[in-house]
Amino acid sequence: MKDLKGLYSALLIPFDENGEVKEEGLRQVIEHNINVSKIDGLYVNGSSGENFLLNTAQKKQIFKFVKEVVGDRVKLIAQVGSLDLNEAVELAKYATELGYDSLSAVTPFYYPLSFNEIKHYYKTIIDATDNSMILYYIPFLTGVKISLDQFAELLEDEKVIGVKYTAADFYQLERFRKRFPNKLIWSGFDEMLVQAAITGVDGAIGSTYNVNGQRSQEIFRLAKEGKVAEAYELQHEANDVIEKVLELGLYQTLKEILKVKGIDAGTCKKPMKSFDPAKLAEVEKLVKDYNL
């Protein structure tokens, strides 16, 4: 199996006003990620891909198109988690046949499911293919919390190679690292990359790496080498960017940054609102000031 460590962009997807995928724009976003952001891989159909607003055909269209454009140039992880377990299985098979390096699935959300139900969900997806699985843990959006012992149960399956951990619980992260030294952890909060790197994660997956990849690679490298003060200098810069992006609207503003750089990053899928054009000058200033 490929070494899946490293920094991944949670791929942004350009949409037109009707909510259809703009394939030529997507090609440009992918090329920017590979050639300019210098990421190690792409996390496809995650939160940043507005996945939970898409129908099955669109999810498949994106998996297929991304693989065609990327080939084997960078690593590819397919997020297939869905409240419709049949859809999750269908997508898992589809992405595996396309050659995705690993699957990932968000914890099932909305309905308060028992841990046994969550286990069954993962087992069903995992058993459908021979691909590996990365748990996608993002409790602030899903409302689903998993204890260390419950993680241990999910990780018993050898095909579960690790977790994409989007939580700021650094105590649990430390306990996880100590207890499962052979499993992989990708940090999910770009604004806490230094802290995650010091805690021993193997990589990171995030939305802002689409536009701030090289600086983030440097943060990760410096923190891993123990050059914490230097890493923090760059994290401060990254967090200036992230703070502004969150203020103006996360995915809309990341797309707007790409547009300022000449990339047709489209708009967000409704009901997400579009970028407010009155704020364009603020984005242009951000790109200039932080050399994005």
**Residue 5 or 153 having the CB closest to ligand SI3:** 5
Which member of 136, 137, 165, 251 is catalytic?
A: 136
Tokens of 272: 């997400």
Interface with ligand SI3 (CB under 6 A): 10, 43, 46-49, 141, 166, 188-191, 206-208, 242, 250
Q: In terms of CB distance, is 25 or 188 closer to ligand SI3? A: 188
Decide whether 43 or 275 has the Cβ nearer to ligand SI3. 43
CB of 112 to ligand SI3, least distance (A): 21
Residue 82's closest CA among 51, 58, 119, 44?
Answer: 51
Q: What is the distance of C-alpha 282 from the center of its chain?
A: 25
Q: Is 164 in the active site?
A: yes
104 known member of a binding site = no
Residue nearest to ligand SI3 (CB): 46
188 is in an annotated binding site: yes
Phi and psi at 75, nearest 5°, equal -80, 150
Q: What is the distance between the alpha carbons of residues 15 and 112, in angstroms, rounded to a whole number? A: 32
Selected catalytic residue, list 67, 75, 164, 259? 164
**Residue 164: CB minimum distance to ligand SI3, A:** 7
Closest distance between ligand SI3 and the C-beta of residue 140, in Å?
A: 8
- State the minimum distance, in angstroms, from the CB of residue 79 to ligand SI3: 6
**What 8-state DSSP symbol labels residue 21?**
B
Grouping H, G, I as helix, E, B as strand and the rest as coil, residue 29 is helix
Q: Give the nearer residue to ligand SI3 in terms of CB position, either 37 or 208.
A: 208
| 194, 170 contact by CB (below 8 A) | no
The token pair at 140 is 């602030």
Alpha helices in 99-208, H assignment, sequence order: 115-127, 139-142, 148-155, 170-179, 193-199
The span from the CA of 239 to the CA of 250, in Å, is 13
**In the chain, at which residue ranges do the beta strands (DSSP E only) sit?**
6-10, 41-44, 75-79, 102-106, 133-137, 160-165, 184-187, 203-206
CB of 116 to ligand SI3, least distance (A): 25
How many angstroms separate the CA atoms of 198 and 121, rounded? 32
17 is in an annotated binding site: no
Is position 23 annotated in a ligand binding site? no
When the beta carbons of 12 and 260 are compared against ligand SI3, the nearer one is: 12
User: Is 243 among the annotated ligand-binding positions?
Assistant: no
166 belongs to an annotated ligand binding site: yes
> Cα separation of 224 and 272, whole Å?
37
Q: Which residues are annotated as a binding site for aceneuramate?
A: 47-48, 166, 188, 190-191, 207
Residues involved in catalysis: 136, 164
The binding site comprises 47-48, 166, 188, 190-191, 205, 207
Residue list for the binding site for pyruvate: 205
